[in-house]
Amino acid sequence: MDRSEAAQAVCVAKSRRAVTWQELADAMGRPPVWATAALLGSHSLTSAEAETVGALLDLEPSVVEALQLPPLRDTGRSGTSPVDPTVHRFHEVIGLYGPALRELIHEQFGDGIMSAVDFRLDIRRATDPAGDRVVIVLDGKFLAYRW
Burial string for 85-120 (b: 16+ CB within 10 Å, else e) reads: eeeeeebbeebbbebbbebbbeeeeeeeebeeeeee
95 in Cβ contact with 74 (< 8 Å): yes
Could you say which of 65, 92, 102, 107 is catalytic?
A: 92
- Beta-bridged to residue 138, according to DSSP, are 121
- Beta-bridged to residue 125, according to DSSP, are 134
Indicate if 30 belongs to the active site: no
Indicate if 115 belongs to the active site: yes
Indicate if 92 belongs to the active site: yes
In angstroms, the CA 90 to CA 112 distance is: 22
Could you say which of 4, 15, 81, 115 is catalytic?
A: 115
10 in Cβ contact with 36 (< 8 Å): no
Catalytic residues: 89, 92, 115
